[in-house]
Amino acid sequence: MYIVMLGAPGSGKGTIGKILSNDLNLVHISTGDIFREQINKSTDLGKKIKKYLDDGALVPDDVVIETIKARLLEQDVESGAILDGFPRTVAQAEALRDFFENNKPGAKRVAIELDVPDDEIIKRVVNRLICTNKSCGAIYNKETKPPKVENVCDVCGSPLKRRADDNKETVTKRLKIYHENSTDLINFYRNNNALYSIYPQNLDVAVKSIKEFLKEYKRK
């Protein structure tokens, strides 16, 4: 099964995506994580896209589409994946649909929308702290989910840090861009695939109801 996570930056796509990935044994693919890794390693791709991430702007569709297609053809993706942060535009959604039709025609596909009010998003993102250990990647919040020891990951003990683009100015811009695309994107999935929308106020409750939906969906 292939699960597309839709939602504004800071809506919980990463957190919920990772939980589902563990529980359902599906690889978690985050275009944002792929891009940040390329930037850290100063690869050609990383150099090309750094300005977009610093700016809170979208990476051009052709670059994103090429990156995700290559990732989806890797071995570990055979039985499904959770896509976190892709697609973000209708052009990307169409490219993904075409990719599936050509490469994985029978694959079950479903979209989950995390619908969170903007004022709450801003609060979440400016307080967000992320584990610097890439294989862990646990996400905290200074106010709502602080680590037990300040700036230290509960799970693996690595230092925590704020993402470079998690400041109020960039978040506001990322939200604006999200809303410019989200109506069309969500309609695309409403018309083409199964779509499940939820306001994830409580993490455990949200995960539970998403899983119930997925179980039902799988049976169909």
Q: Is the separation of the CB atoms in 126 and 138 below 8 Å?
A: no
Q: Which of 4, 173, 26 is nearest to 92 (CA)?
A: 4
Which position among 149, 156, 164, 205 is part of the footprint of Zn ion (CB under 5 A)?
Answer: 156
CA distance 101 to 97: 6
Out of 18, 109, 124, 128, the active site residue is: 128
Q: What is the per-residue binding string for ligand ADP in 101-120, x denoting contact by CB under 6 A?
A: --------------------
CB of 35 to ligand ADP, least distance (A): 5
Q: Is the separation of the CB atoms in 101 and 71 below 8 Å?
A: no
Using CB atoms within 10 Å of the CB of residue 91, give its burial: 0 to 12 exposed, 13 to 18 middle, 19+ buried: middle
The one of ligand ADP, Zn ion, none whose footprint includes residue 131, by CB under 5 to 8 A per kind, is Zn ion
Decide if 219 is catalytic: no
Does position 52 interact with ligand ADP (CB under 6 A)? The reply is yes
The one of Zn ion, ligand ADP, none whose footprint includes residue 174, by CB under 5 to 8 A per kind, is ligand ADP
CB of 117 to Zn ion, least distance (A): 29
CA distance 48 to 67: 13
For the annotated catalytic residues, the residue numbers are 13, 88, 128, 163, 174
